[in-house]
Structure 1
Amino acid sequence: MAVVAVTMGVHYRWEFPPMLQSQLRLAHQLREELVTAQLEVEETLRGVWSQVPQVAAAEEALALAQQEVSAAEQVVADLRGGTRRRVTGPPAARLAQARRAVREARVRRRSEISLARPVVDPQIRQIHEQLYARHKQLYKQFCTDGDLFWATFNEVVANHKSTMKKITAQRKQGRSANLKRRRFDGTGTLTVQLQREAGGPARTPAAIADPDGRYRNLLVVPWTDPHEWAGLTRAEQRRRGRVTVRMRCGQHQGHPVWLQVPVQQHRMLAAGAEIVLARLTVSRVSDQRRAQISVVARIDDAAAEVSAGPDVAVRLGWRDGGEHLIVADWRSSRPISIAAHLREVISVDPDGMTGQVRLPRSVPDQVAHAATLGAGRIEAMRHTRAAVVDWLTEHGPVPHPSDPNQVLAPTEVARWASPARLAWLHQQWTQQPPDDASDIIATLEQWRHNDIPVWRRQEHARTKALRRRRDLYRQAAAHLVGLAGRVVVDDLSLPDIAAAAARGDTALHPQVRRRVAQRRAVVAPGSLRELLVAAAHRDGVEVVTVSASGLATTHPQCGHTSSTRTVLDGAMVCQGCGHRYDQHRAATATMLTRASGDAPTAVRDV
């Protein structure tokens, strides 16, 4: 049973009704309540573990090691003096040693916790039972006694539990991960779940489109048969696709409320699809909000034939390829043919068995244009910030807008690096102006008037580029999976690579590291792997994950794995046989070898 989603854009001129705003705020408040409950549980658990002497000693050692890291980082920061130059010598060695001590202290703490777990398990179970009871109490507070729709409640709780699983997995790997609170910015997601009772009508697109049908009180989505839709011209599809979706949106004072959402449909679900839920997602682009509706459905793939295609290995990368950026290298166990309209994204070598997934240069150029606009905003903000600092120095002290018991100091404003902080100050002072602040408020008003159009151009340019990137990756993933009988990917951890680069654990010059990091952020190869796996699961294609360790340093022709990288004229040199080879081709060949367990696959030497 494959799961697919159809997304429909909401008309940008649609005014969000008050009930939508209320439901989004309630969903945000629920999320914050869940975070509060989880943080209280973690604090209680820390108290339980601290009662064990061995764990308490390990935690004390960890705290001391973290203090040493903070002190060493401050020394390195002072030596940098506000620049990004690399610090070497004893200060850098001290920092590396302190970080190593923190990692060792965390391992020791985890070991002591594992040994003491049988003793404290009863208390831990009781704490989790109390957390479950707290969740039930929140349902009564927000849904039974409140106006939040129950489907949105379930979605928020499910997302919270999924987040906790990710945090737990990261902590087990020794990485820092914590829940964070966030302010309400008017964004969020509302959900409608379609529950089918025994003997009830199927949740087909035709049934959901019926305004008098069984599911009319939850969701009504207009639908056209895909065969008829395919016969329409593009202009006719656009006209036919301008429809209104009716969806349940909680209740108000005990009475149900519905939303009438104008959308643009671009494609239709199959007639036999089973719609399970719909989501209305509100996101923010600069100072504007945009919305879209996603309809999630199950499609029966029991009759689908098992693909007899070849194994296709895809290895992530983010190197410069001249007119494009290389996102990944791929290799097939036998020749395949790439569609002509995708040759710009998926290149294929003459042998038909190797190639690359590429990102056109126009995408990073558009991201760079957005970054240039952002840099101009920062520069304009600095002049206005300096004017605010001068005014505070002359007219201070002024009560802090967020805390009347505190004072807004000029030194604090001078450290603001984001235009958002200055925009917040403008908003606060406009509502409650200080004495004799008309001149500085006028300055802020002029800056804000000039900043908003640039901010919109920046965010729309960046969003458009990222959406185009994801669309290209979707097409590439769907095409490769459609040709493959089995997909092979590696377990390369991009967050670990980013963290290592940020720490300076590589021999590259800091400026080179920054360029590589920027390229990795623009290319986002992890999203390609995510879409490959999702497309494979949707089409019933097997996915094999192999270790990324030693892929580039293993010479497939002789099978030797070099302990160090030796590069000559852009080619890797095997320390076993002395031959040179293309490390990217070799990596994909090694992936196929590891996935099949066969003898080493020969690749062309350089």
Structure 2
Amino acid sequence: MAVVAVTMGVHYRWELPPAVQGQLRLAHALRDELVTAQYEVDAALKAVWSQVPQVAAAEETLAAAQREVEAAEQVVATLRGDTRRRVTGPTAARLAETRKTVRDARVRRRTEINQARELVDPQIREIHQQLYARHKQLYQQYCTDGDLFWATFNAVVADHKSTMKKIAAQRKQGRSANLNRRRFDGTGTITVQLQREAGGPPRSPQAVADPAGRYRNLLVVPWTDPQQWAALTRAEQRRRGRVTVRMRCGQTDGQPQWIEVPVQQHRMLPADAEILLARLTVWRVSDQRRAQISLVARVSDPPDLARTGPDVAVRLGWREDGECLIVADWRASRPITIGEHLRELVSVDADGMTGQVRLPRSVPDQVGYAATLGAQRTEAMLETRAAVVDWLAAHGPLPHPGDPTQLLHHTEVAQWAGPGRLAWLHQQWSQQPPDGAADIIGVLQRWRHTDIPVWRRQEHSRRKAMRRRRDFYRQVAAHLVDLAGRVVVDDLALADVSAAAARGDSALHPQVRRAVAQRRRVAAPGSLRELLVAAAAREGVAVTTVSASGLSRTHPACGHLSATRTVVDGAMVCAGCGQRYDHHRAATATMLSRASGDEHAARPTR
């Protein structure tokens, strides 16, 4: 059985009922409680490990090395100044050396911890038992005695545990990772889970659609048979897809609450699907809130058909090519035919075996337009902030709107980097204006009046570009999977690439590095790989993941793996045979060889 998610867009004019807002606020408070409990666990674990002399000594060495890195980074930043020029020489070498010392210190600390684990295991188990008891106490507080719906509680706790697993994995790799708190902004997710008792009716779409059925007190989602739905025209589907979903929304003062959400359905679950849960997710677009409902269901696996298509390898990338961004190179084990409707997105060479996945220029252009609007907003915000700073400097510090026991100084406002705090200050002063602040409140009001429309255009433009990009990638993934007998992808960790770029672990000039990072964010090749894998799972196509290490440095003709990248006029030079080759196409050939388990077989020379 496979698990799928079907989303339904909520009408943009739908106002969030108070019950939804209350559940979102409770869910956010629960997340904060879980973060606090985890902080306490981390502190207790640190105290336990610090009692071991070898671990304590390793921690002291690590702390000293981290201080050296901070000092070296400060020296580099001072030398670089506002020009953001590349710093080389002994200073850069010193920074690289101190970073290596930190990595070595982390490895030593991890080694000491592993050696002392048996000694402190009883104390660690006791700490985790206390954390489990804390989670049970939170359930009593938020669900039994409070109004939070139990399904939302379970979803928040499960998400927290998943996050902690990711953090633990990053820490094992020697990377810094921690939980962060965020203020409540009215967004979040509430969950409804359908539980089936022994002998109860199935959680089929027909049963969930029945307003008088077994699950009416949890979820009611209108449903049309997929065969009837497919026979409708696009206009009829849109008309019949405008329905209302009724779902449980926790309780208020102990009384159960339900909400009715107007949605637009786009596709129907199969009749044999089993609906597990539903989620109402709320997010912000500028100063507005949007929502969608997701149904998570278990469906039958696709039929196990004999796939006769070729192997298709897709290697991620992000490079400029005139009127588009190249986000991937692909290679098939034998010629394939790309549909004419996708020739703008998927290019194919004359041999029919290689090509590229391209992102049209309209997407980065629209992202650039949103960035231009953001720059305009920043400029206007800086002017308004300067006016507020001057006014505060002239009228002295005032009681802080967020904490009356503190004072708001003009030096603090001068450090505000984003428009959010100025908007908050305008809201607070509008409700409780200080004496003689009518003029400056007017300045804030005029700025806010002009900023909100620009903010909306900026966010809607950016989101429209992201939706268009994802739609392009979905079409490409579906088409390639339909042609392939097996899909081969690499394991390139884009998060590590981003982290390395942020640290400056590159010989590129900082301005060039920032441009490459921006191109990578716009292209988001990782989402293409994600959609490829999802489409393959949906269609029953096998997926093979190969190592991304040394793909472009391997010459497919002779099989030599060069130690370094030597590029001349856009072509890689093989250190073994001295020939030049296209390293992008060579990487896909190496991927196919690795997938077949024979890297020494005859390969294409292109």
> 1:218 is matched by which residue type in structure 2?
L
Contact between 2:556 and 2:604, CA under 8 Å: does it hold in 1? no
Measure the CA separation in 2 of the matches of 1:255 and 1:409: 46
Secondary structure (helix, strand or coil) at the match of 1:81 reads helix
Percent of aligned positions with the same letter in both sequences? 78
Q: Which residue of 2 aligns with 1:21?
A: 21
Measure the CA separation in 2 of the matches of 1:285 and 1:324: 27
Q: Which segment is superposed worse, 590-599 or 48-57?
A: 590-599
> 2:233 is matched by which residue type in structure 1?
T
- Report the Cα offset of residue 603 of structure 1: 5.2
Q: Which residue of 2 aligns with 1:513?
A: 513
Cα gap change, 1:92/1:398 in structure 2, threshold over 3 Å: closer, same or farther? farther
Q: Which residue of 2 aligns with 1:471?
A: 471
Q: Which residue of 1 aligns with 2:215?
A: 215
Q: Which residue of 2 aligns with 1:560?
A: 560
**In the alignment, structure 1 residue 392 sits paired with structure 2 residue 392:** yes
Q: How does 1:430-449 map to 2 (within 5 A)?
A: 430-449=430-449
- Report the Cα offset of residue 300 of structure 1: 0.6
Measure the CA separation in 2 of the matches of 1:445 and 1:531: 45
Query: 1:2-36 CA deviation, whole Å, 9 max, x = no partner?
Result: 22221111111111100000000111111111111
Give TM-score, length-normalised by structure 1. Answer: 0.97
Q: How does 1:375-414 map to 2 (within 5 A)?
A: 375-414=375-414
- Report the Cα offset of residue 236 of structure 1: 1.3
**In the alignment, structure 1 residue 319 sits paired with structure 2 residue 335:** no
Measure the CA separation in 1 of the matches of 2:225 and 2:314: 36
> 1:592 is matched by which residue type in structure 2?
L
Q: Which residue of 2 aligns with 1:362?
A: 362
**In the alignment, structure 1 residue 284 sits paired with structure 2 residue 316:** no
- Report the Cα offset of residue 302 of structure 1: 6.0
Q: Which segment is superposed worse, 404-413 or 162-171?
A: 404-413
Give TM-score, length-normalised by structure 2. Answer: 0.97
Q: Which residue of 2 aligns with 1:352?
A: 352
Note the residue ranges of structure 1 that are not aligned, 5 or more in a row: none
- Report the Cα offset of residue 599 of structure 1: 4.7
Q: Which residue of 2 aligns with 1:90?
A: 90
Contact between 1:556 and 1:601, CA under 8 Å: does it hold in 2? no
Note the residue ranges of structure 2 that are not aligned, 5 or more in a row: none
Contact between 1:557 and 1:601, CA under 8 Å: does it hold in 2? no
- Report the Cα offset of residue 306 of structure 1: 4.3
Q: Which segment is superposed worse, 365-374 or 250-259?
A: 250-259
> 1:374 is matched by which residue type in structure 2?
G
- Report the Cα offset of residue 442 of structure 1: 0.7
Measure the CA separation in 2 of the matches of 1:352 and 1:560: 26
- Report the Cα offset of residue 408 of structure 1: 2.2
Q: Which segment is superposed worse, 447-456 or 80-89?
A: 80-89
> 1:113 is matched by which residue type in structure 2?
I
Contact between 1:397 and 1:409, CA under 8 Å: does it hold in 2? yes
Secondary structure (helix, strand or coil) at the match of 2:319 reads strand
Contact between 2:285 and 2:460, CA under 8 Å: does it hold in 1? yes
Measure the CA separation in 1 of the matches of 2:400 and 2:80: 32
**In the alignment, structure 1 residue 338 sits paired with structure 2 residue 344:** no
Q: How does 1:125-144 map to 2 (within 5 A)?
A: 125-144=125-144
Query: 1:270-290 CA deviation, whole Å, 9 max, x = no partner?
Result: 122211111110010000000
Contact between 1:249 and 1:259, CA under 8 Å: does it hold in 2? yes
Q: How does 1:246-261 map to 2 (within 5 A)?
A: 246-261=246-261
- Report the Cα offset of residue 234 of structure 1: 1.6
Q: How many residue pairs were aligned?
A: 606
Q: Which segment is superposed worse, 227-236 or 398-407?
A: 398-407
Contact between 1:590 and 1:601, CA under 8 Å: does it hold in 2? no
Contact between 2:313 and 2:487, CA under 8 Å: does it hold in 1? yes
Q: Which segment is superposed worse, 7-16 or 267-276?
A: 267-276
Q: Which residue of 2 aligns with 1:594?
A: 594
Q: Which residue of 1 aligns with 2:169?
A: 169
Q: Which residue of 1 aligns with 2:538?
A: 538
> 1:275 is matched by which residue type in structure 2?
I
> 1:480 is matched by which residue type in structure 2?
L
Query: 1:307-362 CA deviation, whole Å, 9 max, x = no partner?
Result: 23222211110001211111111111222222222222222222222111111110
- Report the Cα offset of residue 604 of structure 1: 5.0
Q: How does 1:91-240 map to 2 (within 5 A)?
A: 91-240=91-240
Measure the CA separation in 1 of the matches of 2:2 and 2:595: 24
- Report the Cα offset of residue 132 of structure 1: 0.9
Pairwise CA RMSD: 1.5
> 1:164 is matched by which residue type in structure 2?
M
Secondary structure (helix, strand or coil) at the match of 2:313 reads strand
Secondary structure (helix, strand or coil) at the match of 2:116 reads helix
Cα gap change, 1:320/1:185 in structure 2, threshold over 3 Å: closer, same or farther? same
Q: Which residue of 2 aligns with 1:270?
A: 270
Secondary structure (helix, strand or coil) at the match of 2:545 reads strand
Q: Which residue of 2 aligns with 1:526?
A: 526
Measure the CA separation in 1 of the matches of 2:254 and 2:504: 58
Measure the CA separation in 1 of the matches of 2:358 and 2:158: 35
